[in-house]
């Protein structure tokens, strides 16, 4: 065997881990097999840590193999931590443990104790849930709902089967629970976001979003950013990292986007799942049609010498190269960005409603910060239908408005609160009727036309009691798309959500600009342009703009006039603009700066003021 490599140079702003499933850990008994494969990964990625899984699918790694693997990585300056996946048969529709089954409970305790003897850090892969409906579970459930039963059951299992035996075996162990990306439905399977963050030392975030169309969950790309921010707000300072896999991607730039969105959210560590997937060879079919246009993931630049010709890639060029390329680029500027900022979006524990809508709004250039507690201190908040699960939500809205603040609610929440007190604020009614619209009216005479029709619920209101800010036109009538009503010293806004959330992307740029004008008023800048261009804002006058569109885009950034220019933190380019006039042709206090975006690309800027 060759001499181990020295401790690798680290990235400055984050660390990188690789997760190895029990199947690959078992193969590590052959150290030559391990060396050959790890050296390929380590050539492309600066690896800090490897999670060695001890159990999955009822299989447990033998102690001798585990010790040999740990020693292999220790010789190379690589930290190792333990991992457990609590499945009976993952291939059988994610068959999980049954937590009313004494055999399963004893097995889990033994696996936890075994793992805790070998590691000071242990992560649970995202299968600490239950989908079991065996006769034993049915009997134990009794009259409870499945959601309530599973929340209680998994809370008890966390305490008795994982935390207690782990700490008894190793008092110094750090316990991490990794959550998947489908947070809207956690409670139905027993993931308890209310109690578990307090029980475990740290959380971990599944930021994988894969392909939005062909992936089973159809998660929008922005989800990879917003979910990390949400989990960070569940346990501030203890969201240990983001987790990305290669599954379900059609092109290599989708994989790259998952990686950099995780880092844009300020994940301190990023885990690449998994040891096997990172051995996957890169193929020419991984190149997207737009990757010949110098995108943020430039296929040809990333592969470099590995492209032996325009039609062939050198053997041994694996997907780890793509990850390393992304990490090197993002690490060059990430340290200059402050703490992420966004519009506080209250999502009570165990709530559902307008599932994953936050990610669609993020794709409209609206920075989102999902929070589990009502953000009373914020000047403007956004509430989706999930807020209906707070029985005091109407009173909380009223108090915000009486304090002179602004509350934006979606049409889904308005419908849920009808007859439950929302009419004390404004008498609006969502009917069962729909309107299919393509033209939109702003003010008295600004008409904007959508690229495709949009179907919205018809909202009725009392003339002069509340006001249409944006109307959807049918040709003979109009219906509110964005509506406002005063109450106390504040303003309530209602954002009408189409029946199909994806139709939000059809809204014209002028309509989106008007909505952003209201929602982003507490941020130091906002975008003007089409949908599927996202904005990431930080608290030190830095920001990122990213286009998820397949063609070049010219957009505008509106900034306060006190800023003289934008400084591109990657290219060094300085961009200046012109004062924006209001409808009276007077200075509005804002400056408009145009910038170009390549397909599936981001740009990073700092707002700057040149001294007079």
Give me the pLDDT at residue 291, please: 63
pLDDT tens digits, one per residue of 89-117:
988 888 999 999 999 999 999 999 999 99
Between CA 433 and CA 435 the distance in angstroms is: 7
pLDDT value of residue 129: 97
Ranges assigned E (strand) in 467-586: 467-473, 478-487, 490-495, 526-528, 533-538, 542-547, 553-560, 565-568, 574-575, 578-581
CA dihedral 565, 567, 572, 574 (to 10 degrees): -10
pLDDT score for 376: 97
Q: Write down the pLDDT at residue 295.
A: 77
Query: CA 24 → CA 16, 113, 301, 367, distances in Å?
Result: 19, 21, 31, 39
Q: What average pLDDT does this structure show over 274-300? A: 84
Q: Are 58 and 23 in contact (CB under 8 A)?
A: no
39-62: per-residue pLDDT in tens? Answer: 989 999 999 999 999 999 999 999
pLDDT of residue 137: 98
The pLDDT value given to residue 311? 83
Check residue 6 and give its pLDDT.
43
Cα separation, 154 vs 86, in Å, equals 12
Domains in the chain: ranges and CATH? 15-280+318-334 (3.20.20.80), 340-519 (3.40.50.880), 541-608 (2.60.40)
Q: What percentage of the chain reaches a pLDDT higher than 90? A: 85
Q: Higher pLDDT residue, 59 or 285? A: 59
Furthest-apart CA atoms within the chain: distance in Å: 82
**pLDDT confidence of residue 391:** 97
Nearest to 118 by CA among 186, 51, 179: 51
Query: 465-496, pLDDT tens digit by residue?
Result: 999 999 999 988 999 999 999 999 999 999 99
In the predicted model, is pLDDT for residue 30 greater than 50? yes
Give the Cβ contact number of residue 349 at 10 Å.
Answer: 16
pLDDT digits (tens, 9 = 90+) for 557-595: 999 999 999 999 999 999 999 988 776 676 688 999 999
pLDDT in tens, 392-438: 999 999 999 999 999 999 999 999 999 999 999 999 999 999 999 99
Strand order in the sheet with 542-547: 340-341, 533-538, 542-547, 601-608, 565-568, 574-575
| pLDDT per residue as tens digits for the range 521-554 | 999 999 999 999 999 999 999 999 999 999 999 9
Q: What is the mean pLDDT of residues 287-293?
A: 73
Average pLDDT taken over every residue of the chain: 94
Read off the pTM.
0.95
- Rounded Cα gap, residues 360 and 12, in angstroms: 32
CA 311 vs CA 282, 307, 308, 314: distances in Å: 13, 8, 8, 10
Render pLDDT for 165-178 as a digit per residue (tens, 0 to 9).
Answer: 999 999 999 999 99
Residue 3's pLDDT band, with cuts at 50, 70 and 90, is very low
Whole-number Å distance between alpha carbons of 115 and 61: 10
- Could you give the 3-state DSSP secondary structure of residue 405? coil
Cα–Cα distances in angstroms (integers) from residue 481 to residues 232, 500, 515, in the given order:
32, 14, 10
Contacts of 415 (CB under 8 A, 6+ apart): 385, 430, 457
**pLDDT at position 81, please?**
98
Length of the chain: 612
Is it the case that residue 7 has pLDDT exceeding 50? Answer: no
């Amino acid at each position: 065997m060759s001499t181990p490599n020295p401790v690798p140079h680290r990235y400055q702003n984050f660390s990188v881990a690789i997760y190895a499933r029990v199947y690959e850990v078992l193969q590590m008994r052959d150290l030559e097999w391990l060396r050959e494969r790890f050296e390929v990964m380590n050539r492309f990625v600066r690896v800090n840590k490897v999670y060695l899984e001890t159990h999955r699918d009822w299989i447990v790694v033998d102690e001798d193999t585990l010790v040999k693997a740990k020693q292999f990585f220790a010789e190379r300056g690589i930290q190792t931590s333990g991992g457990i996946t609590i499945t009976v048969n993952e291939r059988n529709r994610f068959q999980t443990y049954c937590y009313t089954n004494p055999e399963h409970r004893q097995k889990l305790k033994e696996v936890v104790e075994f793992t805790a003897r070998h590691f000071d850090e242990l992560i649970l892969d995202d299968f600490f849930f239950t989908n079991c409906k065996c006769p034993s579970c049915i009997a134990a459930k009794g009259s409870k709902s499945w959601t309530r039963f599973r929340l209680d059951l998994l809370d008890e299992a966390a305490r008795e089967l994982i935390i207690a035996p782990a700490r008894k075996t190793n008092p110094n162990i750090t316990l991490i629970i990794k959550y998947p990306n489908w947070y809207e439905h956690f409670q139905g399977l027993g993931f308890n976001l209310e109690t578990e963050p307090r029980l475990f030392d740290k959380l971990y975030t599944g930021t994988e979003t894969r392909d939005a169309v062909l992936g089973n969950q159809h998660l929008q790309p922005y989800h990879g950013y917003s979910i990390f921010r949400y989990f960070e707000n569940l346990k501030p300072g203890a969201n240990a990292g983001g987790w990305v896999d290669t599954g379900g991607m059609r092109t290599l730039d989708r994989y790259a986007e998952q990686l950099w969105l995780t880092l844009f959210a300020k994940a301190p560590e990023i885990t690449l799942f998994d040891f096997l997937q990172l051995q996957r060879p890169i193929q020419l079919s991984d190149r997207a049609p737009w990757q010949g246009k110098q995108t943020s993931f430039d296929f040809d630049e990333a592969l470099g010498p590995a492209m032996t010709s325009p039609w062939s890639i050198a053997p041994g060029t694996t997907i780890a190269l793509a990850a390393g390329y992304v990490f090197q680029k993002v690490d060059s500027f990430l340290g200059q960005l402050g703490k992420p900022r966004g519009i506080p979006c209250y999502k009570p524990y165990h709530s559902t409603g307008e599932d994953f809508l936050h990610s669609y709004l993020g794709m409209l250039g609206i920075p989102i910060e999902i929070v589990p507690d009502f953000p009373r201190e914020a000047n403007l908040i956004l509430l989706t239908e999930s807020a209906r699960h707070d029985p005091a939500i109407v009173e909380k809205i009223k108090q915000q408005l009486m304090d002179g603040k602004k509350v934006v609610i979606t049409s889904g929440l308005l419908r849920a609160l009808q007859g439950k007190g929302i009419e004390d604020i404004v008498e609006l009614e969502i009917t069962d009727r729909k309107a299919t619209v393509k033209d939109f009216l702003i003010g008295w005479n600004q008409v904007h036309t959508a690229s495709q029709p949009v179907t919205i619920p018809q909202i009725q209101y009392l003339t002069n009691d509340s006001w249409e800010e944006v109307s959807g036109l049918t040709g003979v009538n109009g219906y509110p798309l964005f509506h406002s009503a005063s109450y106390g010293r504040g303003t309530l806004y209602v954002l009408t959500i189409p029946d199909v959330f994806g139709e939000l992307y059809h809204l014209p740029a002028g309509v989106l600009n008007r909505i952003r004008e209201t929602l982003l008023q507490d941020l130091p800048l906002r975008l003007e342009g089409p949908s599927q261009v996202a904005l990431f804002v930080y608290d030190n006058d830095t920001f990122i703009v990213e286009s998820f569109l397949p063609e070049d885009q010219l957009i505008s950034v509106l900034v306060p006039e006190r800023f003289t220019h934008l400084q591109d933190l990657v290219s060094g380019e300085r961009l200046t603009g012109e004062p924006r006039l209001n409808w009276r042709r007077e200075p509005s206090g804002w400056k408009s700066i145009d910038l170009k975006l390549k397909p599936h690309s981001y740009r990073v800027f700092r707002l700057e003021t040149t001294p007079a």
